[in-house]
């Protein structure tokens, strides 16, 4: 995906959450990982790229098209993307199946039959058919997150944005979610994710951006950045997170 970001800035009160970020990714990049310490601006940048948030300054364009700043145009841009957050955000009173079906009918305008057929496909692909009639409260965290991922990509999003998709999960549940994300990467899905899973970022992302205090301090191909970081910030970050 070609992503061009110029001087992107988002300020909350006195906090410069994203502070003049520029980057230009070529079409060869399919999976982009945002890494960096807590509070460095990963979620804000992800939300700006997905159109959930409007920048105070600067611009984003995806595949040569500028992401609009008008709310009505942003709404249609946002609908083309898929989102998954740290906490699963499923509707508690709906079954797993209904959670996947509802956005397809309510947001994307599919008929009930189309939506159910598609939801079943995705649920099968993710090996969740045994859980499709359960409500979120009857599912483990990993299963809930897999349902949330099924929901995020059921409408075949142009861009799938994952914000620390495994950080609320126990280790073995992280693995089951990361395996699915990996499968989507292999299948050619375009993904931007923020993550603390350095092993996963290194293996699955083509390109990595390291943020600190809202700035893109270093970026590059995943192999290069992890094996041969250039800046002291990335070196010390990696030394800290790889320690345990």
Ligand X SMILES: Nc1ncnc2c1ncn2[C@@H]1O[C@H](COP(=O)(O)OP(=O)(O)O)[C@@H](O)[C@H]1O
Q: Which residues bind Mg ion (CB under 5 A)?
A: 42-43
| Count of residues touching ligand X (by CB under 6 A) | 11
Rounded Cα gap, residues 211 and 219, in angstroms: 9
- Strands 57-62 and 3-12, by their bridges, are antiparallel
Angle formed by the axes of helices 141-153 and 112-125, to 10°? Answer: 130
- Count of residues making up the chain: 244
Q: Are 90 and 136 in contact (CB under 8 A)?
A: yes
User: CA 193 from chain center: how many Å?
Assistant: 4
Q: Are 142 and 128 in contact (CB under 8 A)?
A: no
Minimum CB distance to ligand X smaller for 49 or for 100: 49
Determine, following the binding rule CB under 6 A, whether residue 215 of this chain makes contact with ligand X: no
Stretch that binds ligand X, among 10-18, 78-86, 129-137, 235-243 (CB under 6 A): 10-18
Longest dimension (CA), the chain: 55
Determine, following the binding rule CB under 6 A, whether residue 12 of this chain makes contact with ligand X: yes
Rounded Cα gap, residues 42 and 77, in angstroms: 20
Determine, following the binding rule CB under 6 A, whether residue 91 of this chain makes contact with ligand X: no
Determine, following the binding rule CB under 6 A, whether residue 56 of this chain makes contact with ligand X: no
CB of 45 to ligand X, least distance (A): 7
Single residue of 8, 25, 42, 176 touching ligand X by CB under 6 A = 42
Minimum CB distance to ligand X smaller for 106 or for 241: 241
* Residue 44 binding target from ligand X, Mg ion, none, CB below 5 to 8 Å by type: ligand X
Question: What H or E segment, with its residue span, contains residue 47?
Answer: helix 42-50
Determine, following the binding rule CB under 6 A, whether residue 39 of this chain makes contact with ligand X: yes
158-197 positions binding ligand X, by CB under 6 A = none
Determine, following the binding rule CB under 6 A, whether residue 2 of this chain makes contact with ligand X: no
- The token pair at 27 is 């079409």
Q: Are 136 and 144 in contact (CB under 8 A)?
A: yes
Q: Are 138 and 149 in contact (CB under 8 A)?
A: no
Determine, following the binding rule CB under 6 A, whether residue 157 of this chain makes contact with ligand X: no
Minimum CB distance to ligand X smaller for 36 or for 103: 36
Minimum CB distance to Mg ion smaller for 126 or for 141: 141
* Residue 186 binding target from ligand X, Mg ion, none, CB below 5 to 8 Å by type: none
The site for ligand X (CB under 6 A) is made up of 12, 15, 17, 36, 38-44
């Amino acid at each position: 995906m070609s992503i061009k970001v110029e001087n992107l800035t988002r300020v909350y009160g006195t906090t410069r959450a994203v502070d003049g970020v520029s980057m230009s990714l070529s079409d060869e990049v399919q999976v982009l990982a945002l890494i960096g310490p807590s509070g460095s601006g990963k979620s804000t940048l992800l939300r700006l790229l997905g159109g959930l948030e409007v920048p105070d300054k600067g611009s984003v364009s995806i595949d040569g098209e500028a992401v609009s700043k008008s709310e009505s145009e942003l709404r249609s841009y946002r609908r083309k993307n898929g989102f998954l957050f740290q906490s699963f955000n499923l509707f508690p009173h709906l079954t797993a199946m209904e959670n996947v079906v509802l956005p397809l009918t309510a947001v994307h305008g599919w008929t009930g039959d189309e939506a159910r057929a598609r939801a079943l496909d995705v649920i099968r692909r993710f090996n969740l058919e045994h859980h499709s009639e359960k409500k979120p409260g009857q599912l483990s965290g990993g299963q809930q997150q897999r349902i949330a991922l099924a929901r995020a990509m059921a409408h075949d999003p142009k861009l799938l944005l994952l914000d620390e998709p495994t950080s609320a999960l126990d280790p073995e549940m992280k693995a089951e979610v990361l395996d699915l994300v990996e499968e989507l990467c292999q299948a050619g899905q375009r993904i931007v994710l923020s993550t603390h899973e350095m092993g996963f970022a290194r293996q699955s992302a083509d390109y990595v951006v390291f943020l600190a205090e809202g700035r893109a301090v270093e970026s590059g191909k995943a192999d290069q950045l992890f094996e041969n970081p250039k800046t002291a910030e990335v070196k010390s970050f990696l030394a800290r997170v790889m320690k345990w």
